């Protein structure tokens, strides 16, 4: 049942597998029809709810419409046609029509929301917003946050602009949270994709490694553009290698990438110019430590950098060095990491380093802060972040650091964090915005609303899920 005044008719029950198959087949018929305007597809029964059609091309969202009037199946047809003619996105040319894909969404789990609680209750990427303002319904789908990189306040500001009314003038009791359920349709069948999340993540990482072992750092999931440049590129390659080495599948890619990385580091340490190799001593130290942790022999160089004052000055990288050297790390380097806990208690590498050194008190102290950073309540349960949009890499690093502990509190925190990671992994229906689902399937975005894909984020997530 809908909350009184909610402007959409929500689903009365979840979609069944048969519902999804029938809707997807009919949407594929509509996608083929819009290219040639020949065969109008037959449409089977549809849920008695308000369908919202979102159309995507390589440029991103290119049309969106919802229809509440008429018989249920007819609403889907009309919403699709209205989305095709959505003038806000500049129209569709032949190229966009040829690779157009469609997302059909229905509202569910509608919750009335007081304005004072809106920012605290809204979980971006999960919740949409709706308000009945000036007698006309205004809605924002959950996807709006990801399409525009919005946090909770950004969603509320966007709803204000769309309504043309300041939120202070919204009717009392007229604001709603809702979730969505639906299906994705493409003009050509999607490739067969690994259903297991760990296997899918490993396959995505392995596809970033070419035959010579060179690694692609990142992918824009919307355009398909690959990116090679990255700060601390070689350290991030080491994270990919360590993650793939933890899996049965992907070992070949891991070995190729490790040979490539070893050669790059050997040349850089010999004084040769290596593209993207860092210049700051602390970053070099962190890079060498990550390389050592993925199985590359770095002892002499790592000991040399471990004694440098520049490494002690950056406890994040200092802790990486201690994690690699364990009890052989200089005591003054470890003391710098311990002192930093006073001002920056969230320190996963310090926890990992404490375990490597056998320092129980420091491990217990660091672990307490890590456990406290994994929220038990509110939006984004389990997501560790510095602000209102948690970062997946921070969450994964927290799990990596806590996984070695056997306390009930650590196990519960890891369980919450892993659930958060899996909720945001790109697979199946979450690949709607990608022209090629194989390009994104299995990867983890930076945050729930920033969907650029990096090898280190997915690498850390894979390690966290496998720990």
- Other CB atoms within 10 Å distance of the CB of residue 76: 23
pLDDT of 69 above 80: yes
Greater confidence (169 vs 155) lies with 155
Q: How far apart are CA 434 and CA 291, in angstroms?
A: 32
Per domain, the residue ranges of the chain are 17-185, 197-466
Q: Kindly give, in sequence order, each residue whose CB lies less than 8 Å from that of residue 161, ignoring residues fewer than 6 positions away.
A: none
Instruction: Report the chain's mean pLDDT, rounded to a whole number.
Output: 92
Say yes or no to pLDDT of 337 above 90: yes
197-466 belongs to CATH 1.50.10.10:
yes
Share of the chain above pLDDT 90, in %: 74
Interval 283-322: pLDDT, tens:
999 999 999 999 999 999 999 999 999 999 999 999 999 9
pLDDT at 274 over 60: yes
Closest CA to 391 of 465, 463, 449: 449
The Cα-based distances of 196 to 193, 327, 425, 462 in angstroms read 9, 38, 11, 12
Is there a contact between 217 and 228 (Cβ–Cβ < 8 Å)? yes
What is the value of pTM for the model shown?
Answer: 0.91
**pLDDT tens for each residue of 11-20:** 999 999 999 9
Given this model, what pLDDT does residue 234 score?
98
Lowest mean pLDDT among 52-66, 251-265, 327-341: 52-66
Whether the predicted pLDDT of 365 surpasses 90: yes
Question: Quick one: pLDDT at residue 430?
Answer: 73
> How far is 323 from 349, CA to CA, in rounded Å?
7
pLDDT at 83 over 80: yes
At 63 the pLDDT is 92
Query: pLDDT band at residue 135, thresholds of 50, 70 and 90?
Result: low
- What does the pLDDT read at residue 277? 97
Confidence (pLDDT) at 134: 63
β-sheet with 218-219: strand ranges across: 226-227, 218-219, 453-454
Q: Are strands 128-133 and 175-185 parallel, antiparallel or unpaired?
A: antiparallel
Residue 404 confidence (pLDDT): 83
Q: How much is the pLDDT for 88? A: 87
- Cβ-proximal residues to 84 (8 Å cutoff; 6+ apart), any chain: 34, 55, 63, 92
pLDDT grade for 1, boundaries at 50, 70 and 90: very low
Q: Taking each helix axis from N to C terminus, what angle separates 408-424 and 392-402, rounded to the nearest 10 degrees?
A: 150
- Tell me which residue of 366, 361, 284 sits closest to 321, measured CA to CA: 284
Helix (H), strand (E), coil (C) string for 132-199: EECCEEEEECCHHHHHHCCCHHHHHHHHHHHHCCCHHHCCCCCEEEEEEEEEEECCCCCCCCCCCHHH
Could you tell me which CATH number the domain at 17-185 has? 3.30.1490.150
Segment (H or E) for 366? helix 360-372
Cα-based distances in Å from 286 to 238, 272, 281, 310, 453? 11, 19, 9, 11, 22
Distance of CA 14 to the CA centre of its chain: 25
What pLDDT score was predicted for residue 246? 94
Instruction: Note whether 141 and 105 are within 8 A (CB).
Output: yes
Strand partners, 168: none
Is the pLDDT assigned to residue 372 strictly greater than 70?
Answer: yes
What sign has the CA pseudo-torsion 65, 126, 244, 295? positive
Provide the pLDDT confidence category of residue 222 given band limits of 50, 70 and 90. confident
């Amino acid at each position: 049942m809908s909350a009184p005044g909610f402007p959409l008719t929500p689903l009365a029950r979840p979609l069944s597998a048969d519902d999804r198959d029938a809707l997807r087949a009919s949407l594929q018929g509509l996608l083929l029809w819009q290219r040639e305007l020949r065969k109008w597809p037959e449409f089977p029964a549809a849920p008695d709810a308000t369908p919202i059609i979102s159309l995507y091309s390589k440029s991103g969202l290119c049309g969106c419409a919802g229809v509440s009037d008429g018989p249920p199946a007819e609403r889907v047809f009309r919403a699709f046609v209205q989305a095709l003619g959505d003038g806000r996105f500049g129209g569709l040319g032949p190229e966009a029509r040829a690779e157009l894909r469609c997302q059909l969404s229905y509202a569910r789990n509608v919750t009335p929301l007081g304005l004072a609680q809106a920012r605290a209750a809204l979980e971006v990427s999960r919740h949409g917003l709706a308000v009945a303002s000036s007698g006309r319904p205004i809605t924002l789908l959950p996807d709006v946050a990801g399409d525009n990189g919005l946090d909770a306040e950004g969603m509320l500001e966007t709803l204000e602009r769309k309504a043309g009314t300041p939120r202070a003038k919204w009717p009392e009791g007229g604001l709603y949270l809702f979730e969505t359920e639906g299906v994705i349709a493409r003009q050509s069948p999607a490739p067969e994709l690994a259903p297991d999340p760990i296997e899918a993540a490993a396959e995505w990482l392995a596809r970033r490694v070419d035959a010579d072992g060179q690694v692609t750092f990142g992918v824009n999931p919307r355009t398909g553009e690959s990116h090679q440049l990255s700060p601390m590129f070689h350290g991030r390659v080491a994270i990919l290698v360590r993650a793939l080495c933890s899996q049965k599948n992907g070992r070949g890619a891991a070995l190729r990438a490790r040979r490539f990385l070893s050669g790059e580091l050997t040349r850089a340490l010999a004084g040769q110019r290596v593209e993207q190799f860092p210049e700051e001593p602390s970053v070099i130290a962190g890079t060498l430590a990550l390389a050592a942790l993925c199985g590359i022999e770095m002892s002499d160089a790592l000991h040399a950098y471990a004694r440098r004052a520049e490494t002690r000055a950056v406890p994040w990288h200092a802790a990486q060095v201690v994690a690699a050297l364990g009890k052989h790390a200089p005591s003054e380097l470890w003391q710098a990491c311990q002192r930093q806990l006073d001002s920056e208690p969230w320190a996963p590498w310090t926890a990992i380093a404490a375990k490597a050194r056998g320092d129980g008190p420091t491990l217990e102290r660091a672990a307490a802060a890590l456990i406290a950073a994994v929220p038990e309540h509110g939006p984004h349960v389990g997501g560790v972040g510095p602000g209102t949009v948690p970062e997946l890499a921070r969450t994964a690093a927290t799990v990596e650091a806590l996984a070695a502990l056997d306390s009930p509190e650590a196990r519960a925190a890891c369980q919450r964090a892993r659930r958060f990671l899996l909720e945001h992994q790109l697979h199946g229906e979450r690949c709607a915005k990608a022209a090629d689902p194989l390009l994104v399937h299995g990867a983890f975005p930076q945050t729930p609303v920033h969907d650029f894909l990096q090898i280190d984020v997915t690498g850390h997530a894979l390690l966290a899920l496998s720990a």
